[in-house]
Every structure is written in C-alpha cells, then in structure tokens.
Amino acid sequence: MEEFLSQNASAIFGLAGAFLGGLLSFIASWMIKNREYSLRIWQMLLDRRIKAHENLISLAMEMRVMVSLGREENGEVVRAPQVLISREEFEAWFTRFSQLTQEGSTWLTTEAKREVNFVQDYLVTLHTNLASVPSERFLPIGKVIRQDFIELSSALEKTAYDYFENQIRKRKLSRLGDWHKYPREHTESRLAHTDLLSNWDSVQEAASGDGSEQR
C-alpha cells in the first residue's frame, strides 16, 4: 500500500486537488447563485414598497388639488378640493383611494399604515354625512373642509417621504403584527378637531345652501 501511494502520489494529489478545486468551485457558484436569488427577491420586495409609497404620494397630491368656486372672499379666491366637484367624482376617487391603499398596505411602513387608516376614517365619516346631500352642494361643503384635505394630504405625504429618506435602504419589512391604527382616543380627538366635525354647523349650511354662498 505504501509502495502504491509512493509510486502514485503525484496522481493522487492531482486527483485530490481537482476534487477539492471542483468542490470549492461548486460551493462558490452555489453561494453566488443563492446571493443573486436573495437579491432578486429583495429587489421585488423593494419595488413593491417603493410603488406603495409612490401611490401614497400621488393620492396625497390629488387631495391637495383645488378648484375655484368663481368668487373671492377676504381678498382670496374661494377654493374647494377637486375630488368634491360632484358625488360621482368623490365616490370614484374614494374607491381609487381605498383600492390603492389596500393593495399597498402590506408594503407600507407602520407609520404610513396608521396615517392611511386615519384618512380612511375621515373619508368614511365624510362619505356617510354626504349620503343625502345633493351632488351640487359638494363643492360648497368642500370650501368649508378645504383645510382638512390640505392637512391630511400633507400628513400622508410626510409619512411616505419619511420612508424614502430614512427607511428605503433598510432590508427589513414592517412587522405585520404591529398595530396599524392610532389608539382610538387619538383618532377620535383628531377627528373632532377637523373642520368637518368642529365646524359642523357650517357644513350643514353648505349642504342645504343656507347662506353658504356668502360665507
């Protein structure tokens, strides 16, 4: 045996070297492919996260678009949210808001989810109170609650930009177990301070047409 090993040492070492080289090459190839696969998966998740937050910014900007009511008040043109031009326009936009935020909810940061849910609560409250209001009264109501739309859109936009500024490079998704709504007390207090609820008398006047055109 020793004589065989001695006579064939170079061949044995050659075979061992070739085997070891092949093994190392296989391991390296596997590691590279595994890394590439992980990167592709992460890129797919990243694309979805980016799209979800981009949609949030788009919705926020749509909330902030105003139309003129064709008159001035205190030296300024009276304006209202464009999405309140009519019942049909509002309901179509509300449906779009709900669909886009629902599709992207898994990929949003926890902070963005909470803000989306608050805006959803506000819009549901508004939609409920507009149920019996004629379509032509939507813009006068929009004039009363214009600041609500501006503030809500700014808050949505802020949470989306926070993702792009501070979290986009983090390879970690928000935990699905995190509570995705603000505490009830916070939500109720914040809703109570919106013009929709705190200025309810003016909203009702605008809905009925009693003096709203002169306010």
The string of pLDDT tens digits covering residues 67-124 is 998 877 777 789 999 999 999 999 999 999 999 999 888 899 999 999 999 999 999 9
Tell whether 41 is covered by a domain: no
Structural contact between residues 94 and 123, judged by C-beta atoms closer than 8 angstroms = yes
Tell whether 135 is covered by a domain: yes
Which domain, by its residues, includes 199?
47-214
Tell whether 3 is covered by a domain: no
Tell whether 31 is covered by a domain: no
Query: What total of structural domains would you count in the chain?
Result: 1
pLDDT band, residue 11 (cuts 50/70/90): low
Tell whether 142 is covered by a domain: yes
Tell whether 105 is covered by a domain: yes
Provide the b/e sequence for 65-80 (b: ≥16 CB within 10 Å). Answer: ebbebeeeeeeeebbb
Tell whether 22 is covered by a domain: no
Tell whether 70 is covered by a domain: yes
